[in-house]
Amino acid sequence: MNGISTFGTHQMNKNGRSNIRIEHVSGRSALYLRDLWTTFVDMQWRYKFFLFTATFAGTWFVFGVLWYLVALVHGDLLVRPAVQPHPVRDADADSDRAFLFSLESQTTIGYGFRCITEECPAAIILLIVQLVLTMLMEIFITGTFLAKVARPKKRGETVKFSQHAVVTSHDGVPCLMIRVANMRKSLLIGCQVAGKLLQTSLTKEGETVRLDQRNVPLRAWLADFELMVIMNATVESTSATCQVRTSYLPDEILWGYEFPPVVSLCPNGKYVADFAFFDKVLKTKSSPIEQQRLFTHRLRVAFNRGEGLSLINPPSSFLSSLSCKL
């Protein structure tokens, strides 16, 4: 690594978002357009509202032009005598009225003095085409709005990880411990937790492999690594699967510390979780150096065997501790 710390910053932010920017992808715009649904769902709200407004205004304008051309071809725009039989649309026709007629047709708010007649088949066909196309467009846009609002990602934002991980003894065994809490009263079903230890490694051929996840040892407190924690669960109310992620750098893993109790029992028999102590840590009486030596050896063995993180206790509805038993 030429003495440069690869993991001086998070590869994955604390909120679970990737900190890697993708550049110089050939044909990225075309790829995004082929997957319009995901593109629209992932779009930020300000761009979504702008696109929503521009799409409807654009269709009104385009079909307004088409209605204007139909009226022009049929001769409705010419100076008419007092009585002109069989117009395409009743009432005087000009560009403003053509636009209003397009808007009224698409939104079905009523024509007033503007309406089509049976004398022009082209107008009837254009009305059918406009209604069908705009109906499909409204279904697509409404679906993307609902999908974005109902994404399990929003449910995952109500799950909180501790700012630090700690290494302490649990039942005489050194453990890497992480605290996680469900901020809602509704349960998360079937929680599964996995840990990924990311580290840059150098192959025998001299190639630097970044973000290597295979058999990576943790070399005490001087190791250059990033620990990713991933929790998958099913939302009780919607049965949708959500994923919550966070990561820890070496300086965010505290040796010889432990989490203080957060849950207490009130006199009325209810449990209370005080989140003022959620991210706080306390020093333990055992030696951090001894814990580091035992932890380094056991963690190397555990990750080489493919063992990951597991719950040390059955998860409660609002608070659990995660531990890698070594």
Q: What is the CATH number of the domain that holds 263?
A: 2.60.40.1400
The answer to whether residue 22 sits within a structural domain is no
Q: How many degrees, rounded to 5, is the angle at CA 224 between CA 220 and CA 230?
A: 95
Span between the terminal Cα atoms of the chain, in Å: 28
Do 43 and 68 lie in one domain? The reply is yes
Note whether 174 and 317 are same-domain residues. Answer: yes
C-alpha 235 chain-centroid distance: 15
Q: How far apart are CA 33 and CA 31, in angstroms?
A: 5
CB 263 within 8 A of CB 271: yes
> Would you state the pLDDT for residue 235?
86
Task: Note whether 78 and 188 are same-domain residues.
Answer: no
- What mean pLDDT comes out for the span 224-243? 85
Q: What is the pTM of this model?
A: 0.61
**191 and 291 housed in the same domain:** yes
Q: d(Cα 306, Cα 313) in Å, to the nearest integer?
A: 21
Q: Which residue has the higher pLDDT, 98 or 147?
A: 147
Among residues 149, 181, 214, the one where a domain terminates is 149
Q: Which residue range forms the structural domain that includes residue 72?
A: 28-149
Measure CA 119 to chain center: 53
Residue finishing a domain among 98, 130, 149: 149
Does residue 42 share a domain with residue 137?
A: yes
Same domain membership, residue 136 and residue 282: no
- C-alpha distances in angstroms, 192 versus 114, 155, 246? 62, 16, 14
Neighbours of 149 (CB within 10 A): 8
Residue 313 covered by a domain: yes
Tell me, yes or no, whether 19 lies in a domain: no
Domain count, the chain: 2
Residue 215 lies in a domain: yes
Task: Report which of 174, 162, 179 is spatially closest to residue 288, judged by C-alpha positions.
Answer: 174
Task: Give every CB contact of residue 130 below 8 A, 6+ residues apart in sequence.
Answer: 59, 63, 66, 102, 105, 106
Residue 322, both tokens: 């995660």
Do 162 and 47 belong together in one domain?
no
Do both 140 and 205 map to the same domain? no
pLDDT at 179 > cutoff 60 = yes
For residue 15, tell me if it sits in a domain: no
Q: Are residues 224 and 261 in the same domain?
A: yes
- Report the pLDDT averaged over residues 150-175: 80
Same domain flag for 95 and 183: no
Per-residue confidence at 217, pLDDT binned at 50, 70, 90?
very low
Going by C-alpha positions, the residue among 323, 149, 164 that lies closest to residue 246 is 164
* Closest by Cα among 56, 61, 205 to 140: 56
Average pLDDT, the chain: 74
